[in-house]
Structure 1
Amino acid sequence: MKLIYNRHRNSKSDEELLALFIEEGRVGALGELYERHIHLVFGLCLKYMKNTHQAKDAVISIYEKVQTEIDRHTIRNFKSWLYVVSKNHCLMELRKAKPGQVVSLTEAEKSDSFMEYDAEMHPIDGEQTEEMEKALQECIEHLKTEQQKSIRLFYFSNKCYREIAGLMQTDEKKVKSYIQNAKRNLKICLDKKK
């Protein structure tokens, strides 16, 4: 499988390509959309799998999953949604490969609602300027301590709820609540800064 891509072969935005696929069934539009972000998917898979061949296989599997799942979701930001789908796929594959180890997703993380919610509210994904990155870091600094720790561990250290709960010596439901509240507060803060 070739993982080199031609960046933005045409000038259509992600949203336009997504609409072409969903509304008109143009498979080529979805292929191009996926190709634009394939380097991110491969990088994420490589990070989790730590094996080039497994990461390449995962990239193909994720594309197949995207084809079957895409019209079941309301997607506002394809890149964010793809990130969550890719991360969930990798974690599930690791879980299958190492059944006794803690590489688990909570039921909330496996559910469709988590994927949709996370794709819509992900505060750190998408194209970011230096100014946006600075604004995000400032907003994180204003969060309550538990929210700040949870959001940093979840997004910047790629920890799952269970791992964060262990590190913070609390339960997973509280961690989920901290993260959801933090995302809501970050969105409000970032909207004010715009």
Structure 2
Amino acid sequence: MIVEPKERSLYEEQLIAQYKISGDLKLLGVLYQDYMALVYGVCLKYFKDEERSKDAVMQIFEELISKVKQHEVKNFKSWLYVLSRNFCLMELRKTSKVNMVAIDEQFMESNVLLHHEDVYEKEKSLLLMEDCIETLNTEQQLSVKLFYLQQKCYTQVAEETGYDLKKVKSYIQNGKRNLKLCIEAKIEQAG
């Protein structure tokens, strides 16, 4: 049976409303089951690890238990996608030994994002950086991710990618510059 998007949205809103009243996890499970593949896909994109992604699907469900009650959810699929993405980013941030401010300083050398105290603003900054990383060419993107996010040295990046050491240094330097320009442009557009 094919369910029209409008009917699906209404059905999901009803399930959420019933869950908020009753706290019955079965209702939340019914709602979540249809999107487990989506959540798994999001996690796999960020973690690049099947087992970690499977674990994250369950952890995100556990987060839903309280988060659904706290938020007014109109489009569950979109809301769940953002929740899943944010969960993955927070987990990566926890497991990464890199301080968020240090990442900002290293990538952008820009004061625009360095003084945000608010977690929401830091999350926006991280998402902005993530979007800009995706705009880099393949060599720069890979080199920047390995060097800054995985804290590999130039030699390790060269070994892992097969790129010449001088090229790696160039890709990282140019990638860093391009990230800074992209982020500043996006901030200017938003402002």
The alignment's TM-score, normalised by the length of structure 1, stands at 0.52
Aligned residue type for 1:167? L
How many residue pairs match? The answer is 130
Alignment-derived partner of residue 175 in structure 1 = 186
Which runs of no fewer than 5 residues in structure 1 stay unpaired?
A: 1-6, 116-149, 182-194
Q: CA deviation at 1:64?
A: 0.7
- Residue 81 of structure 2 aligns to which amino acid in structure 1? Y
2:24 maps to amino acid? R
In structure 2, give the amino acid aligned to 1:84.
Answer: V
In the aligned structure 2, how far is the partner of 1:61 from the partner of 1:109? 25
Question: Match for residue 84 of structure 2?
Answer: 86
Match of 2:21 in 1: 23
The 1:51/1:99 distance shift into structure 2, 3 A limit, reads same
- In the TM superposition, 1:30-45 aligns within 5 A as 30-45=28-43
Give the corresponding residue for 2:160: none
More helix by share: 2
| Superposed displacement of residue 154, structure 1 | 4.0
Give the distance between the partners of 1:27 and 1:82, measured in 2 at CA. Answer: 16
> 1:71-130 deviations in whole A, cap 9, x for unaligned?
111111111111111101101111122222779798699439x89xxxxxxxxxxxxxxx
Q: Is the 8 A contact 1:92 1:104 kept in 2?
A: no
CA RMSD of aligned residues (A): 4.1
TM-aligned CA deviation for residue 23 of structure 1: 2.6
Change (3 A) 1:104 1:55: farther
Following superposition, the deviation at residue 44 of structure 1 comes to 0.4
Percent sequence identity is 33
Cα distance in 1 between the residues matched to 2:135 and 2:12: 25
**Structure 2 gaps, min length 5:** 105-112, 137-174
- Per-residue CA deviations over 1:151-171 (Å, capped at 9, x if unaligned) read xx849x599xxx9x9536165
Structure 1 CA distance for aligned equivalents of residues 38 and 57 of structure 2: 10
